[in-house]
Amino acid sequence: TLFRSDELTPLGRILAKLPIEPRLGKMMIMGCIFYVGDAVCTISAATCFPEPFISEGRRLGYVHRNFAGNRFSDHVALLSVFQAWDDARMGGEDAETRFCEHKKLNMSTLRMTWEAKVQLKDILVNAGFPEECLMTQVFNNTGPDNKLDLVISLLAFGVYPNVCYHKEKRKILTTEGRNALIHKSSVNCPFSSQDMKYPSPFFVFGEKIRTRAISAKSMTMVSPLQLLLFASKKVLSDGEMVVLDDWIKLLIKHEAAACITALRAALEALVVEVTKEPEILNQLDAGNEQMLNMIRPISKPSTAGINLSMGNARFGDGPR
């Protein structure tokens, strides 16, 4: 982010203004490019605060798990919570309080996170990003929603290198095959008697916590294609097998993997262009539009053969 003359580049200047980690700042700029800026700002703001769920240190109940829909994602649950809370508070403070009590949510955490998100959005708008790419959106967490697929793809970029592989029950492997557990505060944490099978064994996560064991918090299920596109630094291929960062092995054709990997460099180049002139987002050139239109279907779980409706049972009273 520095020019040769030691001056900040336009990208560096924007990242310096955002009071969050540079990688999350870059994720927010990518969110604006795909017109999902609001959701990505919500996720970035939430990294500064505790989860809004009140669970007294126990595993989350269905009142909280249902917010994730069928996405196996703490981040999607968070977006759904904000969507429902924002609707509820339109009815005034009493309605907001009732909603938070009913859903066991911490109202002050929700309010602080919301204010932080507004601050992040204001910085981007003041830097010249069109307001249209930061509009609040409603996501469908139980059916196909390509905007939500894109948010999850960008999240994989934002939290990298926090990638893990589910083995059994609460056990996961993190980078270079280190053992860890799914944290009890995750919507993905199985109940003690359960051995969960997830539609994809790959997850990205927000942070590791060390107590008696190491556990991963804020987990979101991703497809192998999302890892290849957004959450890997080193990609090697022997023609049949592709290895990401020396530990994740994928069975994918060499040519397909090369094409997908090349898209990331093209997107990174667009990030640099956009930070020089954010208003170009109103009218991108044909080449960049084509590149974005290739990333959209790659982000769909179904493109990687993942069926999200597998094991999607709804319980209790979650959002309808």
- pLDDT tens digits, one per residue of 252-276: 999 999 999 999 999 999 999 999 9
Residues 72, 238: Cα–Cα separation, whole Å: 32
- The per-residue pLDDT for range 106-141, each reduced to its tens digit, is 999 999 999 999 999 999 999 999 999 999 999 999
What percentage of residues in the chain have a pLDDT greater than 70? 94
- The predicted model gives 187-206 an average pLDDT of 91
Count of beta carbons in the 10 Å neighbourhood of residue 248: 21
Q: What's the predicted TM-score (pTM) here?
A: 0.95
Query: So what's the pLDDT on residue 255?
Result: 93
Q: What is the pLDDT of residues 14-51, one digit of tens each?
A: 999 999 999 999 999 999 999 999 999 999 999 999 99
